[in-house]
Amino acid sequence: MRRKFKFDHLRTSPSVGDSVHLHAYKMEPQPDQSYRLAMQSRWSTDADGIALCLGLQAEARVELDQIISALEAKISTSTLFVPV
């Protein structure tokens, strides 16, 4: 995701007051040959921060359609999670 989006302005110590929280997870192998989902990192930001992530012009109000269009343009089949 860091190759496709700009994340350097996100807070690595999430703020309760932020409207957007992002969590990244990883699969940890367990001794019994199973896996456990574990949080790897978390960030937070606000609407203006999301606009920066997506490379949109900084505006006071970012429209939902703009955010969805920018996200869809960056999603490929290699970034989708398909359960086995």
Most confident of 2-6, 24-28, 56-60: 24-28
Distances (CA, A) of 15 to 25, 26, 35, 39, 84: 19, 22, 30, 17, 35
Both tokens of residue 44?
């937070």
Residue 60 is predicted with a pLDDT of 46
Give the CA dihedral 13, 16, 17, 18, nearest 10 degrees.
Answer: 60
| Whole-angstrom Cα Rg for the chain | 15
pTM: 0.50
Domain ranges of the chain: 20-75
d(CA 73, CA 24): 21
